[in-house]
Structure 1
Amino acid sequence: MRKMKYWMIAVVMMASVSSFAQDSTYLSNEYAKAMAVYSQAQLYNDIEVQKAALYDMLVLDPGDSSVMRTLSEYYYNNRRFTSSALVAMDILKKYPGNMVATEIAALSYEQLRIYDKAIEYYQEMWLALDDNNILYQVAYLQYSTKRYEEANTNLEILETKLTDENMITLTRQDGTNQEVKFKAALKNLSGLILLDQGNKEEAKVRFNEALALSPDFEAAKMGLEEANK
Structure 2
Amino acid sequence: MKKIKFFVLALGLMLGSVSVMAQDSTYLSNEYAKALALFDKSQKYNDALLTKQALFEILVLNPNDSSAMRSLSELYYNSQQYTSSALVSLDMLERYPNNEIALEIVALSYENLRLYDRAVEYYEKLWLKTENTNVQYQIAYLQYSLRRFTESETNLGMIESKVTAEDKISLNKSDGTIQEIPFAAAIANLRGLMAVEQGNNEEAKAQFTKAISISPDFDAAKNSLAGLNK
Q: What's the TM-score once normalised by structure 2's chain length?
A: 0.89
The reply on whether 1:103 has 2:95 as its aligned counterpart is no
Q: Which amino acid aligns with 2:28?
A: L
1:83 partner amino acid: S
Task: Give SS of 1:168's match.
Answer: strand
Q: Secondary structure at the match of 1:173?
A: coil
Change (3 A) 1:21 1:65: closer
Query: Contact 2:22–2:29 (CA<8 Å) still a contact in 1?
Result: no
Matched-pair contact (CA < 8 Å) for 2:86–2:106: yes
Equivalent in the alignment of 1:62:
63
Q: Deviations over 1:176-220 (max 9, x none)?
A: 001111100000000000011000001100011101100010111
Q: Equivalent residue for 1:148?
A: 149
Provide the residue aligned with 1:49 in structure 2: 50
- Helix, strand or coil at the partner of 2:25: helix
What amino acid is aligned across from residue 172 of structure 1 in structure 2?
Answer: K
Please name the residue that 1:94 is paired with.
Answer: 95
Tell me the distance in 2 between the aligned counterparts of 1:149 and 1:21.
56
Alignment gaps of 5+ in structure 1:
1-19
Cα distance in 1 for partners of 2:161, 2:136 equals: 13
Corresponding residue of 1:222: 223
SS, match of residue 62 in structure 1 = coil
For 1:177 and 1:88, the matched residues in 2 are separated by 27
Q: Which is bigger in relative contact order (C-alpha 8 A, separation at least 6)?
A: 2
Measure the CA separation in 2 of the matches of 1:56 and 1:212.
55
Q: Which residue number in structure 1 is paired with residue 131 of structure 2?
A: 130
> Offset of 1:226 from its aligned partner?
2.2
Distance 2:73 2:208 in 1: 39
Q: Which amino acid aligns with 1:102?
A: L
Show the counterpart of 1:209. Answer: 210
Deviation at 1:166?
Answer: 1.0
CA distance in 1: counterparts of 2:46 and 2:157, whole angstroms? 46
Please give the alpha-carbon distance, in whole angstroms, between the structure 1 residues aligned to 2:220 and 2:22. 63
Q: How large is the RMSD of aligned CA atoms in angstroms?
A: 1.3
CA distance in 1 between counterparts of 2:173 and 2:225 reads 15
Q: 1:21 to 1:56 in 2, by over 3 A?
A: closer
Distance 1:125 1:51 in 2: 27
1:178 match: secondary structure: strand
Query: What is the number of residues matched between the two proteins?
Result: 210
Secondary structure at the aligned position of 1:150 is classed as: helix
Report how far residue 227 of structure 1 moved.
2.1
The aligned counterpart of 2:9 is none
Please give the alpha-carbon distance, in whole angstroms, between the structure 1 residues aligned to 2:89 and 2:121. Answer: 14
Q: CA deviation at 1:23?
A: 5.3
Report the residue type matching 2:190 in the other structure.
L
1:22 CA drift (Å) = 8.0
Alignment-mate amino acid for residue 41 of structure 2 = Q
User: Partner of 1:74 in structure 2?
Assistant: 75
Q: What residue is the counterpart of 1:162 in the other structure?
A: 163
CA-to-aligned-CA distance 1:1-25 (integer Å, 9 cap, x gap) = xxxxxxxxxxxxxxxxxxx978521
Instruction: Please give the secondary structure, in 1, of the residue aligned with 2:179.
Output: strand
Look up the equivalent residue of 2:64 and give its one-letter code. Answer: G
Unaligned runs of 5+ in 2: 1-20
Q: SS of 1:45's equivalent?
A: coil
Q: For residues 107-160 of structure 1, give each alpha carbon's deviation from its aligned partner in whole angstroms, at most 9, with x where no partner exists.
A: 100110000111111111111111111100000000011111100111111110
- Residue 18 of structure 2: aligned partner: none
Q: In proportion to residue count, which structure has more helix? A: 1
Question: Cα gap change, 1:33/1:152 in structure 2, threshold over 3 Å: closer, same or farther?
Answer: same
Partner of residue 182, structure 2 = 181
Instruction: Give the aligned partner of residue 17 of structure 2.
Output: none
Identity %: 56
